[in-house]
Amino acid sequence: MKNKELEKNTPWDDLHEECGVFGMYDFDGHDVASTIYYGLFALQHRGQESCGIAVSKTDGPKGKVTTHKDMGLVNEVFTQDILESMKGDIGVGHVRYSTAGASTRENAQPLVLNYVKGTLGLAHNGNLINANELRRELEYTGAIFQTTIDSEVIAYHIARERLNSDNVEEAVRRAAQKIQGAFALVVMSPRKLIGARDPYGFKPLCIGKRDNAYILTSESCALDTLGAEFVRDVLPGEVVTITPEKGIVSDTTMCLEKERQARCIFEYIYFARPDSQIDGIGVYDSRIKAGRFLAMDSPVEADLVVGVPESGNAAALGYAMESGIPYGTAFVKNGYVGRTFIKPKQSNRESSVKIKLNVLKEAVDGKRVIMIDDSIVRGTTSDRIVRMLRDAGATEVHVRISSPPFLWPCYFGTDIPEREQLIAYNRTIEEIRDVIGADSLGYLEIPRLEELVNGLSICKGCFTGKYPMEPPKEDIRGDFER
């Protein structure tokens, strides 16, 4: 399926993250491509459509960058030969799921840009809300874009700002002050590795170290995979510059007061791997808490608590711990169902959900089951899973959701469908319960969200319609194609 546009072919009702970013600079001059490969492999859950790596030699000719990117999973796109041919002690990498810009090879990242001061490599996670205006502005002054992604707008702005800045980090900061929305950025210049996080901190980014090499990564789980130590999170609004001469240099000019920060709460509830820590909060702990809160706020008598894998599992354990009802495994998941999965036709007897999940009949037969899931988007999957539990002999199925109902779109990088397609739109909880065929239904309450992350300031826009910044007037997703 390489080199051709892939249909978004996900046959279930999941949400999607946009991307994962990774950067590395080895001060001892060792090649970094294969370490970036393993780092991206640990971030694969953040995007499965395309991936890429760009590396450069800091002692070589300024700006000689080697890039390889394509459609596909990390282990499909890279071979040992490719990695060994990629020489360089500094590099950036990216895994992508597209929410802005089509799913094509041209739109794969990292982006590499040659300009008058050298070469830039850039990987971006998040969606910008003013990319259209900025792009038009650039086009009127002669810029020709190679892609339809908003990340290229950032790269152009950095290149342009560099002409009037003393150094590349200042150019990154100036560009970052122009762009609005969500961004975690990793930028490679000929001699520097730079990380930047938007002032609201929508998307995560952290710093790690292994021997004499520094790493920037969307999630800390990648550091564990590589045997690297966690140094710290990049602060919301911070720009960090990593060089052998000065180590980590921090610029906090763009940082906002803590109360205005707005981390995407869905990183904790669903996107991030449970073994990651984001801004000092363990993702697994926050999911356990969500389950405990559900048990406190939506109790029900039952024999067994089960999670819909993977992200429902920790919340189910939390519910079991709080309620005293035994925790069990009811589902076996086929982990091999990926991006290129061929969705069964309506006429086929195979069901998409059943291909992904099977129920352990002996675990649920004759039992009153509490089923915990992280979210209900359209509701199409939930009603099938409830039915599967009943078919396997569950006498009652009580559904508990470890997030509040989705009612509004996201402009910052999460692929939430149109309002009209959301099951919670214009329906009461009782009506939703009826649609999915559950005996009872309970959602996490909105005030509980901050408690999941020990009071950190978060974004709740998709639940409340109140966004941390003025949302665009129209749907901006895919505008460049239009």
* C-alpha closest to that of 39 among 102, 111, 98, 93: 93
Instruction: Name the minimum Å distance from CB 460 to ligand SF4.
Output: 6
Using CB under 6 A, which of 33, 51, 74, 264 touches ligand SF4? 264
What ranges in 367-410 are assigned the alpha helix state H?
380-391
Are 237 and 246 in contact, with CB atoms under 8 Å apart? no
CB of 195 or CB of 468, closer to ligand SF4: 468
Residue 265 interacts with ligand SF4 (CB under 6 A): yes or no: yes
CB of 357 or CB of 452, closer to ligand SF4: 452
Residue 469 interacts with ligand SF4 (CB under 6 A): yes or no: no
Residue 443 interacts with ligand SF4 (CB under 6 A): yes or no: no
Are 102 and 5 in contact, with CB atoms under 8 Å apart? yes
Are 290 and 402 in contact, with CB atoms under 8 Å apart? yes
Q: Pick the catalytic residue from 19, 51, 221, 255.
A: 19
Phi (first) and psi of residue 115, to 5 degrees: -145, 180
Determine what percent of the chain falls in helix, strand and coil, rounding each to the nearest 5: 30, 25, 45
- The Cα 414–Cα 461 span in angstroms is 11
Using CB under 6 A, which of 154, 155, 184, 410 touches ligand SF4? 410
Residue 268 interacts with ligand SF4 (CB under 6 A): yes or no: no
Q: Which residues are annotated as a binding site for Mg(2+)?
A: 311, 373-374
Residue 449 interacts with ligand SF4 (CB under 6 A): yes or no: no
Residue 266 interacts with ligand SF4 (CB under 6 A): yes or no: yes
- The Cα 337–Cα 330 span in angstroms is 19
Residue 155 interacts with ligand SF4 (CB under 6 A): yes or no: no
- The Cα 173–Cα 176 span in angstroms is 5
Q: Which residues are annotated as a binding site for [4Fe-4S] cluster?
A: 264, 410, 459, 462
Q: How far apart are the first and last CA of the chain?
A: 25
Q: Which two tokens stand for residue 253?
A: 């000019």
Residue 377 interacts with ligand SF4 (CB under 6 A): yes or no: no
- The Cα 144–Cα 1 span in angstroms is 28
Binding segment toward ligand SF4, per CB under 6 A, in 47-55, 259-267, 306-314, 435-443: 259-267
Residue type, 330: A
Residue type, 215: I
In the residue annotation, 19 being an active-site residue is answered as yes
* C-alpha closest to that of 362 among 394, 316, 386: 394
Binding segment toward ligand SF4, per CB under 6 A, in 53-61, 191-199, 262-270, 291-299: 262-270
Using CB under 6 A, which of 295, 459, 469, 476 touches ligand SF4? 459
Instruction: Name the minimum Å distance from CB 262 to ligand SF4.
Output: 7
Using CB under 6 A, which of 194, 414, 423, 472 touches ligand SF4? 414
What ranges in 324-478 are assigned the alpha helix state H?
352-356, 361-364, 380-391, 429-436, 448-452, 461-464
Instruction: Name the minimum Å distance from CB 126 to ligand SF4.
Output: 9
75 three-state secondary structure: helix
Residue 202 interacts with ligand SF4 (CB under 6 A): yes or no: yes
CB of 18 or CB of 383, closer to ligand SF4: 18
Using CB under 6 A, which of 461, 472, 476, 477 touches ligand SF4? 461
Catalytic residues: 19
Could you list the residues that contact ligand SF4 (CB under 6 A)?
A: 202, 264-266, 410, 412, 414, 459-462
